[in-house]
Every structure is written in C-alpha cells, then in structure tokens.
Amino acid sequence: SYIYKIEEIESSTDIISKKYKNLFYIFETICKELTADDNIRFASEYARLTFLLDKNNVHIAMRKRLLRFRADAINSMRNNAAISAEQYREDYISLALFVSLMFGEQLSESQKRDLEVVSGSWTTDEYRHTDRISHLRIVATHCDYEYITGYKEDAEEYTQVKVKINVIGQNSDFAITPNMVWNGCIVGLIDSTVEPNGDLCPRFIIINPDYLMECSSIADCVTPCGPNPLEHLFKKLMRAKTSKAMLLGNIANYFHDRLIHAHDKSTVDFKTLINEAFLESSLSISTCEEL
C-alpha cells in the first residue's frame, strides 16, 4: 500500500532532500492514478492536483497543507533549499493523511504518533471529505469582517445561514466589508464548502445588483495553473485582438438576442439590425486589420 511505501521512505537513513524526492514521486503517481479515468488533458501537474482536490471535496485546510508539501518538495529538489525537520515532519504527515483520505487506508502506528506531535493546530475535520453546495442565494441580515449572516432566499422556513468571508486562500480576493452588504441584500454564493458546524465558505461571492458577468469572462479566470479571479481584469488591461470570426460571432449574437426579445418579430429586419450592430461595435469593426 502507499501508506507502507511512504512509511518505508520516512524510516530510511536518506537525507531530507532525498526523502522529499521519493515522497514527491509517490505523490505524483497517486495523482495520475486517481485521474486516469478522467478524459482530461491537464496542462500541468498543478492543474491535475487542483482538479483532483475539487473532485474529492478536500477540505481547504488540507489543500493548503498539500500545496505546502508540494512547494517544499519542489524547493528542496530544484533549489537544494534547507527544510527544517519540523516542517518536513508536517509535510510527511500531510501526504500520509492524503493517502488515507483517498484510499481509505489506516495510518500506521508511527504515523499516528507523528500526527499527535504535529497536529497541535490541526483538526480532524481537515482530513475528511467535505460537502459542497454548487450555488445558493441568501438574503443578508448582518455582515461584519468575518461573516455574512442571513437566510436562504427560497426556503419555506426561516433557517439562519452563516457565511465565512475574507478567508485567505478561499475568498479573500473579494475583500468584503460591512458597508458593502446591507440588510435585505441578495448575496450569491458559488462553490461553497460546508464546514462541520454548518457554516458556509464559498469560493465566489456575488453581491446583487452586480455587473452582468458573461460565461467567457468566467472562462478567462480558468488557467492551466489553476483558477485566478483576477485573470479577467488582467486581460481587460491587455490589448484586445479582434478577428473577422470574433466580429461575425458578436453580430450573430446581437441578431439572436434582438430576435428572442422582440415583441413583434415582423418589425425586426436585417438592415436595421446590421446598422445597430455596427453602431454597437463601430470601433472594433473599423480597426480590424482583416477587414
């Protein structure tokens, strides 16, 4: 078993850098094994790991410890960085818990003893599967710098919901402050982790009314190195490339949108729509080098 293999590496007389190398090899082998049946071409091993953790609803604290193990292992192998024995011990136990979580294997007696030594600030909830809610809308009743309190918008009975905000590594990029959320405000929660006490910790927070977000804008934030909420803003600051195909697609979407929402479709004609579409994108059309 993998538990036995990593215990064998730990009990060897190798130096820490050699142990990191062997543990990292097993770690990557496990990730590849667990994603072998997923018909996805991963751009990097980091992308593979992110997918695997999302797929198995791994607790956010456990994710951080695994990413710390990965960073320390790479730093040790590539840069000959000196990792302390205490940090190595935490990384080793993080990998052991990951194996236990993924394969249902029991920790060995020595690993349990190591866990007792390093887990002063850990909780058992960190290395268990967590429930997730893909999307939820709540009506806010109170907000401070740590929580938004409210109730589910469409619930038949009033049930209080507490939402953790400004959690580093989870949703701190949104920088929610009390003056942004008012009593009665509709708040959208996307991809929320359900904490053991029932609190929700979403990855994305949308305060209504908000700017309309297109699917392509969300897609911009998914990169080969993992999700990055600021990627869309970064691309907004870059020079946009316009092609005939993109302009044609935009015009077709405009036609489609007007036809769907027209009260009387007989009043919608091609000449009117093409003129309106040109006015909507006159600068892009005029500066397109392919035209």
Q: For 61-94, how does the pLDDT look when each residue is reduced to its tens digit (9 = 90+)?
A: 788 888 888 888 888 888 788 888 888 888 888 8
User: How far is residue 117's CA from residue 219's CA, in Å, rounded to a whole number?
Assistant: 43
Domain ranges of the chain: 2-127, 131-207, 244-287
> Which CATH number describes the domain made up of 131-207?
2.40.50
Question: Cβ(169)–Cβ(64) under 8 Å?
Answer: yes
Strand partners, 145: none
The pLDDT assigned to 25 comes to: 92
Q: What is the DSSP string of 27-85?
A: HHHHHHHHTTTS----SSHHHHHHHHHHHTTB-HHHHHHHHHHHHHHHHHHHH-----H
The pLDDT assigned to 213 comes to: 56
Look at the block and give the residue holding tokens 């850990």: 122
Asked if pLDDT for residue 210 goes beyond 60, the answer is no
**Rg, Å, the chain Cα set:** 25
Residue type, 58: V
Asked if pLDDT for residue 124 goes beyond 50, the answer is no
Asked if pLDDT for residue 278 goes beyond 80, the answer is yes
Asked if pLDDT for residue 260 goes beyond 60, the answer is yes
The pLDDT assigned to 214 comes to: 61
Q: What is the largest CA-CA distance in the chain?
A: 83
Q: Which of 109-123, 173-187, 196-210, 225-239 has the lowest mean pLDDT?
A: 109-123
